[in-house]
């Protein structure tokens, strides 16, 4: 049997595409491996949102050269946005790649690999499925070990944010029919998945492609979709979505947050800048005041709701005063997490003609100040949770070692598990060895705050079903999955 290994760069959308690539390869008789030396096929799923991601691919590919020299039968495939951005020309630049596929061409990968089998031909398939969009579904893992899964509700992007390459690499917006989405969420939940994250570049602009009503033409029907999922898949523990665009935070979506318990008390709402002047130049199509009003509406809808955001520093023409506006917005909204990026000029984007006039060292200095400010807010928030009780959905064994200060009484050796609260905070919990918390939604008492995470203790008795490890998985022979050699890289 042939084995593949996938190395993913970039956002959740790419992580999700990698999952689909894996499904397509399973269907063609491959199995997945984490061991580089065992792989017959290595797939690099690329990102082009910032230039840094492209550099990372080139150096990761360079590390394959020796391996490929030693094993001539090893095949290398490059997938994703970078392929879409550069087209066939990338085959010439990346001489190690045998096959290349764009984000819409995942189903064609096995056929291309067969055509390139003897290594004499190098092939690329880069075409959008604009007329008949295909949304590949992923099945839950057969051993039921998957707690959280992504489901695509739309592809592409019709926003024209002046800094962003996504409309070019992912094409025009295409929406997935509600019934398809519902069926996928239902089947994942039946396979043991507890949390689903709906995915789309502007996920909350969703409407059913078959809905020709005037309401659908006027505003998004995303809230209807959330309600339909809550009604049809009650066994789901949580329903998240990412990334929403502030423009499509409708009153109906705010009401859904007030009414649906399934929605967590957390929204990732990219703002990009706190300066109206910069927001206009970014073509974000909302003002700072409009963003704040929507953030406040969400916070009022659900007690304790936290907001995360994305911020770009050093956008062309950004002055110190503009940046101060961003810092003041961080204070005003009180983001629980902010992902900050230095502006990176991208081909095919309108902002290119504005130049890249903020010096690199100024971008770096602003980014550091932004993180410093966010760290203060985040730590204050985490500290405020010490002593409270909160529900945690456990995702798996912890990589973090908090020591044994908070071990359950009487525990000789401890197992560590990590999960997330409704507000998306990371919580580590120690339990006696032999317990298996993965997939459990448990009440936890918070006992300590770290810089970016919390330590907790399961409140009360551990439920009987959490005291035993799950049955060994048929795929690995063990409930513990081996660490990946090439980790998912987030840039
Ligand atoms: N569609 C989402 C939106 O704009 O609301 C986000 C998609 S993008 C993959 C994730 C983040 O990357 C953006 O929110 C933005 O902060 C950042 N980003 C996109 N283009 C960038 C660029 N040219 N330079 C720096 N950061 C960028």
Check residues 201 and 434 and name the one with the higher pLDDT. Answer: 201
273 lines ligand 1 (CB under 6 A): no
What's residue 480's pLDDT? 38
Nearby residues of 482 by Cβ (< 8 Å), 6 or more positions away: 34, 476
Contact 310 CB / ligand 1 (< 6 Å) = yes
How buried is 367 (Cβ within 10 angstroms: 0-12 exposed, 13-18 middle, 19+ buried)? Answer: middle
Write down the pLDDT at residue 472.
39
Q: Report which of residues 294 and 411 the model is more confident about.
A: 294
Mean pLDDT calculated for residue range 343-370? 97
Using 50, 70 and 90 to split pLDDT, how confident is the model at 146? confident
For ligand 1, atom 14: residue with the closest CA: 310
**pLDDT tens-place string over residues 48-72:** 999 888 888 888 888 888 898 899 8
Give the whole-angstrom CA distance, residue 424 versus residue 268.
10
Q: Let me know: does 356 contact 344? Beta carbons within 8 Å.
A: no
The pLDDT value given to residue 407: 53
Residue with tokens 């023409």: 317
**Residue count of the chain:** 491
Q: Categorize the per-residue pLDDT at 485 as very low, low, confident or very high, splitting at 50, 70 and 90.
A: very low
Token pair of 358 as six digits: 């903020």
Query: What is the arithmetic mean of pLDDT over 282-293?
Result: 98
| 140 within 8 A of 212, measured Cβ to Cβ | no
Q: Which atom number of ligand 1 is nearest to the Cα of residue 345? A: 23
> Residue 484 Cα, ligand 1 centroid: separation in angstroms?
27
> Does the beta carbon of 392 sit less than 6 angstroms from any atom of ligand 1?
no
Burial class (CB in 10 A: 0-12, 13-18, 19+), 252: middle
Return the pLDDT at 405: 54
Would you state the pLDDT for residue 214?
85
Q: How do residues 105-134 score in pLDDT, each as one tens digit?
A: 999 999 999 988 766 788 899 999 998 999
Residue 100: helix, strand or coil by DSSP? strand
Confidence of residue 322 (pLDDT cuts 50, 70, 90): very high
Is the pLDDT at 413 greater than 80? The verdict is: no
Residue 466 has pLDDT above 70, yes or no: yes
- Is pTM, for the whole model, over 0.85? yes
For ligand 1, is residue 170 a contact (CB within 6 Å)?
Answer: no
Atom of ligand 1 nearest to the CA of 11: 9
| pLDDT beyond 70 at 470 | no
In contact, 284 and 326? CB cutoff 8 Å: no
Alpha carbon 109 to chain centroid distance?
23
Q: Give me ligand 1 centre to Cα 349, in Å.
A: 12
Q: Where residue 346 falls among pLDDT bands split at 50, 70, 90?
A: very high
326 close to ligand 1 (CB < 6 Angstrom): no
CA separation for the pair 274, 253 (Å, rounded): 23
Percent of the chain surpassing pLDDT 70: 92
Evaluate whether 439 touches 394 at the Cβ level (below 8 Å): yes
pLDDT-derived band of residue 433, with 50, 70 and 90 as boundaries?
confident
DSSP string, 104-130: T-GGGHHHHHHHTTTSS--EEE-----
- Give residue 444's region: left, alpha or beta (phi > 0; psi -120 to 50): beta
Instruction: Give the DSSP letter string of 237-248.
Output: SEEEEEPPPGGG
């Amino acid at each position: 049997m042939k084995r593949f290994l996938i190395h993913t760069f970039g956002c959740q959308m790419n992580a999700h595409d990698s999952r689909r690539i894996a499904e397509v390869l399973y269907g063609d008789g491959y199995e997945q491996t984490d061991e580089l030396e065992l792989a017959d096929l290595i797939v690099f799923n690329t990102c082009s949102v910032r230039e840094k991601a492209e550099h990372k691919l080139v150096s990761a590919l360079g590390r394959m050269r020796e391996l490929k020299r030693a094993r001539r039968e090893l095949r290398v495939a490059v997938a994703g946005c970078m392929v879409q951005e550069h087209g066939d020309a990338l085959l010439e630049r990346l001489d190690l790649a045998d096959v290349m596929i764009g984000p819409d061409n995942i189903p064609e990968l096995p056929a291309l690999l067969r055509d390139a089998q003897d290594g004499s031909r190098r092939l690329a398939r880069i075409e959008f499925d604009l007329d008949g969009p295909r949304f590949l579904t992923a099945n839950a893992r057969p051993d039921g070990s998957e707690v959280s899964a992504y489901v695509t509700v739309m592809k592409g992007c019709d926003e024209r944010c002046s800094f962003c390459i996504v409309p070019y690499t992912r094409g025009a917006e295409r929406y997935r029919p509600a019934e398809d989405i519902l069926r996928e969420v239902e089947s994942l939940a039946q396979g043991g998945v507890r949390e689903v994250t709906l995915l789309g570049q502007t996920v909350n602009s969703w409407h059913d492609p078959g809905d020709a009503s005037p309401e659908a033409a006027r505003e998004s029907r995303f809230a209807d979709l959330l309600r339909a999922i809550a009604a049809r898949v009650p066994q789901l523990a949580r329903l998240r979505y990412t990334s929403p665009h502030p423009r499509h935070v409708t009153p109906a979506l705010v009401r859904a947050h007030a009414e649906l318990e399934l929605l967590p008390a957390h929204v990732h709402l990219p703002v990009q800048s706190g300066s109206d002047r910069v927001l206009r130049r970014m073509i974000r199509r909302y003002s700072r005041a409009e963003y704040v009003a929507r953030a406040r509406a969400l916070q009022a809808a659900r007690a304790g709701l936290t907001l995360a955001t994305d911020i770009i520093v050093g956008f062309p023409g950004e002055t110190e005063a503009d940046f101060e506006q961003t810092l003041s917005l961080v204070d005003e909204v009180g983001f629980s997490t902010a992902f900050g990026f230095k502006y990176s000029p991208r081909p095919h984007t309108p902002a290119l003609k504005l130049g890249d006039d903020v010096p690199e060292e100024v971008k770096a200095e602003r980014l550091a100040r932004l993180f410093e400010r966010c760290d203060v807010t985040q730590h204050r928030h985490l500290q405020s949770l010490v002593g409270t009780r909160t529900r945690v959905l456990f995702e798996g064994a912890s990589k973090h070692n908090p020591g044994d200060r908070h071990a359950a009484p009487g525990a000789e050796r401890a197992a560590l598990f990590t999960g997330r609260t409704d507000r998306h905070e990371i919580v580590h919990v120690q339990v006696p060895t032999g317990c298996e918390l993965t997939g459990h939604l448990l009440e936890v008492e918070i006992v300590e705050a770290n810089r970016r995470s919390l330590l907790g203790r399961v409140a009360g008795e551990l439920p009987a079903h959490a005291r035993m490890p799950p049955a060994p998985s048929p795929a690995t022979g063990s409930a513990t999955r081996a660490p990946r050699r090439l980790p998912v890289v987030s840039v």
